[in-house]
Amino acid sequence: MKRKDFIKNTALLAGSIVVGAGATGCRPSQQAVKKDNLNANVSKVEDKPKPAFVLPALEYPVDALVPYIDKQTMEIHHGKHHAAYVANLNKALEANAGLLGKNLTDLCAAVGAGADQSAIRNNGGGHYNHSLFWTILANPNTIEQKIPTGKLLSAINEAFSSVENLQKLLKDAALSQFGSGWAWLSVDKNKKLFVSATANQDNPLMKNIIAADKQGTPILGIDVWEHAYYLNYQNKRKDYLEAIFNLIKWEQVDKLFAAAIG
């Protein structure tokens, strides 16, 4: 990805999930605290950069996605699972100086497949994937675009013939992902759309892990871990997948597509 594209993309993703001053979302703080800047509450001088990924606040109440996604699922999914990915990522980075200080997109691109980096792969992926996921969902009454429009619609029609067929391909990818993982709509290096699935918390940004023809910039992700749907849908992953298309905030997907193609 070109630097310009990356900056735009990161800014879009970060900008849409960050609430409140000091919440850096995708960006670790690299500011060492200087002695002469210490306020009364800081008792310890830090002279090394510290990882400081934070859990992004949801842009909507936890019950906003009812009846398609229930309140308790959202509370646990965001407040426990996603929070744990963030905490464990920060912890894992303390022991990995080579990846410390990278923003989340760069971190995904740089992480390797070795066992020594598995905590960063799983938790960094988990943090990125969920940060994206929350922003492309919304209460149906608040969604401005119920279907893709403009350049995104043209690209979907070119790649998949129709929006309906794209949804079918996403559903098939999600259903055929054995065990936990994600289904994705992404933009490849030639700015073409493609659908794929990844296991666990991997994502198409992970170029050291994902096959070359499945690498790209995700613009829509669907979480198919059981924690995403089990309370409401139990083993019926298909019903969850059909329901979730009611919640896709296409204006956000459209923005991510615009950023990805530059």
Footprint of Mn ion (CB under 5 A):
223, 225, 228
**For residues 130 and 249, which CB has a smaller minimum distance to Mn ion in the complex?**
130
CA distance 37 to 114: 40
User: What are the two backbone dihedrals, phi and then psi, of residue 95, each rounded to the nearest 5 degrees?
Assistant: -100, 10
CA distances from 254 to 44, 155, 249 (A): 45, 11, 9
β-bridge pairing 181-187 and 193-199:
antiparallel
At closest approach, how far in Å is the CB of 130 from Mn ion?
A: 6
Quote the least distance from Cβ 30 to Mn ion, whole Å: 28
Residue (33 or 76) nearer to Mn ion, CB: 76
Token pair listed for 15: 């900008």
Residue 85 C-beta: closest distance to Mn ion, Å? 9
C-alpha span between 43 and 162 (Å, rounded): 59
Cβ closest to Mn ion, residue 14 vs residue 228: 228
| Cβ neighbours for 88, distance < 8 A, ≥ 6 positions apart | 119, 122, 123
Tokens in use for 100?
A: 């410390």
Q: How far is the CB of 159 from Mn ion (least distance, A)?
A: 26
Dig out the tokens for 196 from the structure: 């794929």
Task: For Mn ion, give the closer residue by CB, 26 or 228.
Answer: 228
By beta carbon distance, the residue nearest Mn ion is: 223
C-alpha distance from residue 121 to each of 19, 22, 90, 127 (Å): 25, 25, 12, 10
Q: Give the tokens for residue 155.
A: 């690209």
Least distance in Å: CB of 234 to Mn ion? 17
Is the CB of 65 or the CB of 100 nearer to Mn ion? Answer: 65
**Shortest separation between residue 228's beta carbon and Mn ion, angstroms:** 5
CB 218 within 8 A of CB 184: yes
Between residues 206 and 228, which has the closer beta carbon with respect to Mn ion? 228
